[in-house]
Amino acid sequence: MSTEITRHSTNTALTIAEDQTGFTNQQIAALRQIGLGANTQADVEVFFHQAKRSGLDPFRREIYMITRKTK
């Protein structure tokens, strides 16, 4: 009997790759479905940078993009 822990990787089309530099079109489509809304491309790029830098996954709902309305 083994006491080893087995880990399964669950790589899907939404998985953010280690060497990824921006969201893919499929990831952006999924984010729009869960509320990314009508943010600018620059806002989305900043959101990706923050998620990547902090190691948080927006698809696991570990980080959220909250849009504030400004004048």
Query: Is residue 9 pLDDT above 80, yes or no?
Result: no
Entry pTM:
0.74
Residue linked to tokens 């849009």: 67
Q: How many whole angstroms separate alpha carbon 61 and alpha carbon 33?
A: 13
Higher-confidence residue: 70 or 62? 62
CA dist., res. 66 & res. 43, Å (int): 10
Mean pLDDT for all residues in the chain: 85
Q: Report angle CA 54, 60, 61 to the nearest 5 degrees.
A: 75
Contact 39, 65 (CB under 8 A): yes
